[in-house]
Structure 1
Amino acid sequence: MQQQALKVQLPEAQVSSDTTSVAVIVPSIRMLDRDAWDACFPGEVETYDYLLAVEEAGIDGFEWRYAVVCEDDEIVAAMPAFLCRYALETTLAAGRFRRTVEGIRRIFSGFLTLRLACLGSPCTETASIGFHPDIAQARRPKLFAELLDAFEAHARMEGCSLTALKDLPYPIPSGIELVLSARGYAETGGLPTAWMDIGFGTIDAYFATLSTATRKDMRRKLRSRQEVRVEYRTEFGDLLPRVMQLYRETRERSGLQFEELTPAYFDGVLKGMPGRSFCAMYFVGGELLAANLLIHDEDRLIDKFFCMDGQKGRSYNLYYLSWCANIEYCLSHGMGRYQSGQAYYRNKIRLGSRLTANAMYFRHSNPLLQFVLKTISPLFAAGDDGEVQG
């Protein structure tokens, strides 16, 4: 394997090593070589540059970490990670149970809130475990175990009672499952990922894949297209405050809320990923009514966030216009997959998407509390409104 420079000096408590490799936890991805990191994630769209934009976005309540296993100063295994105060009802849909938990927390501020150390990222689609392509499959569970050992030691040092892995995509390799089960991690469902293969040549051919009722409904909704102007921009400029207003309004309408994105996130993604990111903006007259942040490589387009004026946007069917615009972008740029992210599954399935399930794993440092959390975890599992296809 080609050597990559990796100069990292950390306290002994953050290092787990054996005779052939060393596992380290670093607080900034800038401490790692860009090419060495990306080499562990071939085909990944959310690369080093995307994670750097997340890190530098100033997202409140999160501390970023990066776990790597190195051999001869070269990264052979890697995962992003974060630390935060985690409220267990975060994944609960709005309802009586969630309102009860929130009411109790107004009296007891720490109720069902734990210090969490989590492998993965709140801002990525899934939590891929990165390995250098030259690492044989048979060695990967051992390297992952070393990475996990180092991260668990770091979690203890940081006072985190709950350790987790967020959104590992199915199928989970059997060797990885064995590592997690041997350490007492419990599994619960995460939010699935919605995606669509672009196996058609035109938008009309796409419509032909839909049911008769959906096809008729989509054609009706697209009649408003002539009143909407779409612009693809690679910088926000003076429109960023309006985009953030739309984002905050959309976030407030969402039932699931974890991280709150910042202007620096939106701006940083576009500036940090030139040629691999853009924002589709939807205007009626001179008013911006919706914005869609997207990232991509040569073969895949990922919808990171769609935000819209709730009242005016619906009157022009902007969600459906943006859906078709994204498919047309894939067609015109030869992309084979459109990935529309998490949540709102029922509608996405109706529009032709499939779902891939993701898993979350967790372990509390107290065995009794781990038993309790494992028992009640179905109540807190991230829900969806569509059938999951593996």
Structure 2
Amino acid sequence: MLRNAVRSLLAEPRAPEPPRRVWRDWVLVGGLLTAVVLEGVFREDVAWRPAAIVIAAAVVCALLWRRTRPLTVVAAVFGLLIVINLVTLVTGNATFGLYTMICVVVLPYSLARWGSGREFLIGLAFILVALVLGIASDFNGYAEAAFGSMFLLFPATVGLAVRYRWTARHRELDQVRLREREQLARELHDTVAHHVSAIVIRAQAGRAVAATRPEAAVDALAVIEAEGTRTLAEMRAMVGLLRDDGTAALVPQPGVGDLERLARSVGDRPRVEVEVSGDLGDVGPAVGAAIYRIAQESITNAVRHARHATRIDVRLTSYDDSVRLTVRDNGEATSRNSGGYGLVGMTERATLLGGTLAAGPDPDRGWSVDVVLPRTAGGR
């Protein structure tokens, strides 16, 4: 996992957005400042006491920016440690500083957690140089040097691991959002395209006969009103689902039992015939909804694109472990993928449920859509 975390860190052009400051940082800095003052006053073996207190207090205050400016803080603090260790190494004086400055161990974590890949590499160089000079200026054996190195670098490892989990989690959430958007796009397309197509066709027919048969135009207006009402109802159901206010779960999804109603909504030109065979009682709701939506989109495409079509046949057949939906029209076959999303959405529905979909012109006449789905895909 650490290797993946390093790769993820170096591949990221920007660091994950950290909170600007949290209350824990203020509590941490307040406690450390108190410790600095107490140690500076009561500890007897402090070299250069006033300077040590001021430097320790500055290092502690710099922790407030460890989330938003990790490289700047690391460069400033460990750059200061490099200078101090160089002076100690050259002069041979006693070790400078307060024990409270051990708080710098949180900075490697902050650098790995919130810094970009470039910032991590630059900051790591500062940390390693300060570490080597610190060991050289106060060398007490290889065991202590190894332990000190692990103690300083281990927080960076923890930061990389936390960063990797955070990144993986957010990528997973992004994938979920993408799938939800695709599902919403399919629902909107299938619902709106079907009803709007019926409205347009009825409006055209009503305008054509308005002068000679006013009663037919009135009938067309009634159908337009009904289709508009259904469209609004389905749109409200989808908006309720997006709002997640608890009412969306009360709205049932359309299924195989609604195919007859779907056929009646088209009217008589072209006539839609529905034939259902086999036991469909245990078909899962996800499969039933997919069958309805695919049939709806197939009928809409036939109405819009099949020239001179007089009949659309919808056949749903049940088998032992699958169901098969076939939608055929007897019009003149034309291209049905002119920049639209209908066939794409139908294919996505079938694929997500582990099924297959084939669509294209029939050898004899018209266009056919043939889809096979598992009976209980997506749960019951």
- Whether these two folds match at TM > 0.5 is no
Tell which has more relative contact order, 1 or 2 (C-alpha 8 A, sep 6+): 1
- TM range, smaller chain: under 0.3
Structure having the higher helix fraction is: 2
Higher share of residues assigned strand: 1
Q: TM-score if structure 2 supplies the norm length?
A: 0.20
